[in-house]
Amino acid sequence: MRLAEDTIIVRVDGQEIILRPTLRAAYRLERQFGGFAALLRQLLDGSLAAMAAIIREAASEPSALPEFLESVERLPMRTGFDSLRASLMSFVCVLAGIEPDQPGDNDASAGMTANEFHNRLFRIGTGWLGWTPEVTWNATISEIRVAYEGRLEMLKAIFGDGKPQVETIPEEAGIAALKVMAATGQNKAA
């Protein structure tokens, strides 16, 4: 999980814009572009509108958008867009729940549409975790997943995990029991 690394910082003309991949940003961008694949295609094509939409939805300070647009106009075509586009594409992958360095984490959304995945995360946040809708919308996918895993661990600790429990005797108790059996003659075959 990329819990501590969820935010992505993009630098444009000396300005830093902090992007946070919240459930709200993921939900809105996926709907606005008709899917993450379409959004990624637009980024590959260098769409300024797609870049602006991502920053509008995910920037920690929405007022950074006008400065971003002005600075992009001043950039030479090749030098500024390549690193910005790569950062934004990585960001979109995080919004989609895809974390290339953690392939096992991506299985949770397998076979689901993005809409189903986002609805499931919202249900987990508001239902299982008891968060308010606002807290859930502002949480990242990784935060929701980790909190959910923590809730499951807590429930397993309280109620068990449904697997039969095997009684084990601590080693010291086993040795003491054998000594008692030997002393009383209970270790002889019948």
Confidence at residue 1, expressed as pLDDT on a 0 to 100 scale:
46
DSSP string, 4-56: TT--EEEEETTEEEEE--BHHHHHHHHHHHTSHHHHHHHHHTT-HHHHHHHHH
pLDDT tens digits for the chain (190 residues)?
Answer: 445 557 888 877 677 889 999 999 999 999 999 999 999 999 998 888 888 899 989 988 765 565 666 666 666 654 557 778 888 999 999 998 886 565 554 445 567 899 999 999 999 999 999 999 999 999 999 999 999 999 999 999 888 877 766 655 556 666 666 666 667 766 555 4
User: What is the sign of the dihedral through the CA atoms of 32, 34, 35 and 36?
Assistant: negative
- Residue of 99, 98, 131, 91 lying closest to 117 (CA atoms): 98
pTM of the model: 0.72
Confidence at residue 116, expressed as pLDDT on a 0 to 100 scale:
92
Strand partners of residue 22: 140
Confidence at residue 107, expressed as pLDDT on a 0 to 100 scale:
47
Confidence at residue 184, expressed as pLDDT on a 0 to 100 scale:
73
Q: What is the DSSP letter of 105?
A: G
Q: What is the DSSP letter of 112?
A: -
